[in-house]
Amino acid sequence: MELKDAVVVVTGANRGLGRHLAAQLLERGAKVYAAARRPESVDLPGAVPLRLDVTDEESIRAAARTASDTTLLVNNAGISTATSLLTGDLDAVRLEMETNFYGPSPSREPSPTSSRATAGEPCSTSCRSCPGCTRPASAPTPRPRPPPGR
């Protein structure tokens, strides 16, 4: 895909990897909608700040109306509450699932988090390098136990 003249929505574009991706896209000639829950936190010259909370359907619909010319979507928004799935607060676990799993999933309506928004292409990132993250991002995969007597 040619990035020059592409129209890209980057979610979570106010800092970290999302901000860097948005800056690189701008440098390569793309029009960039820099999406964030707080668009006033977007500080990229040339980017179009876009209010988007990937956990809020109305926010998604409003962003889809604003960014209706999108040709590429970069699903980058994500959070880490560093909450244990087994012993942590379930509201925090739900928030992570809503943001990190359901947020980039295609919704029932065309949206900036859905490849059906335009004839554009979706792209998702997955990263666990956030400030203050000290716990491992994944758990070891359990290995099957051998049958008894082996």
**In a 10 Å sphere around its CB, with 0-12 CB exposed, 13-18 middle and 19+ buried, how is residue 48 labelled?**
middle
> Count of domains in the chain?
1
Report the candidate in 5, 9, 4 with the shortest Cα–Cα distance to residue 121: 9
Kindly state whether residue 34 falls inside one of the protein's structural domains: yes
Per-residue confidence (pLDDT) for residue 41, from 0 to 100:
96
Kindly state whether residue 80 falls inside one of the protein's structural domains: yes
Range of the domain at 55: 7-124
List CB contacts of 30: < 8 A, sequence separation 6 or more: 3, 4, 5, 6, 7, 8, 72
**In a 10 Å sphere around its CB, with 0-12 CB exposed, 13-18 middle and 19+ buried, how is residue 79 labelled?**
middle
* CATH number, position 100: 3.40.50.720
Mean pLDDT of the chain: 78
Chain centroid offset of residue 149 CA: 48
Per-residue confidence (pLDDT) for residue 50, from 0 to 100:
97
Task: Classify 86 in phi/psi space as left (phi over 0), alpha (psi -120 to 50) or beta.
Answer: alpha
* 22-53 pLDDT per residue, tens: 999 999 999 999 999 999 999 999 999 999 99
Kindly state whether residue 27 falls inside one of the protein's structural domains: yes
Q: What is the pLDDT along the chain (150 residues), one digit of tens a residue?
A: 678 889 999 999 999 999 999 999 999 999 999 999 999 999 999 999 999 998 898 998 999 999 999 988 888 888 888 888 888 899 998 888 888 777 766 544 444 545 444 445 556 665 554 455 544 444 444 445 555 665
Kindly state whether residue 119 falls inside one of the protein's structural domains: yes
